[in-house]
Amino acid sequence: MLRIVEYRDDLAAAFHDINAEWINAMFVMEDVDRHVLHNPHETIIDTGGAILFVELEGQGIVGTGALRWSKPGQLELTKMGVKSGLRGLKAGEFLLEALIERAATMKPERLYLLTSKRCEAAIHLYEKCGFEHDAELLVAARHHYDRCDVAMTYKSAA
């Protein structure tokens, strides 16, 4: 059984560890990653964003994802990951759907994400849940992460 858990300061370590695991496994941790992962309350919650966790009965917190205001009207879905040993249980899809629902209540002009072609499974999930590739956004956002070579904007559920 999966359930969504709201951010609490005692979950900051889980936010850090889950994200550090996938970033370090696939990429190099960048300064922007370190800043956000070490300061989630300051960089996400205090600026009006949200961090959600997915909890699996008997396993505890297995995944997390955030919604961060990058500028007025622009909401970034960021730092989403599931523990490597617990992927394939639909926790990521469950979490992504909850993040999209939460984003709708925040009423952004644009909900978007930045990722890498190396994250094939994640890109497939984003497409399945209504995100579309956005070449114009990619040009504007390339400087945000060195690993960013995919930008997607939420359109609607597929």
Report the C-alpha gap between 121 and 104 in whole angstroms.
24
| Coil/strand/helix, residue 101 | helix
- Is the pLDDT at 109 greater than 80? The verdict is yes
The 10s digit of each residue's pLDDT in 22-78 is 999 999 999 999 999 999 999 999 999 999 999 999 999 999 999 999 999 999 999
The chain-wide mean pLDDT, for the chain, equals: 94
Q: Which CATH superfamily is domain 2-154 in?
A: Gcn5-related N-acetyltransferase (GNAT) (3.40.630.30)
DSSP string, 9-48: GGGHHHHHHHHHHHHHHHS---HHHHHHHH-HIIIIITTT
Q: Record the pTM.
A: 0.94
Domain boundaries, the chain: 2-154
- Report the pLDDT value the prediction gives residue 158, as an integer from 0 to 100: 46
Pairing state between β 74-82 and 131-133: unpaired
| Percent share of the chain, pLDDT over 90 | 88
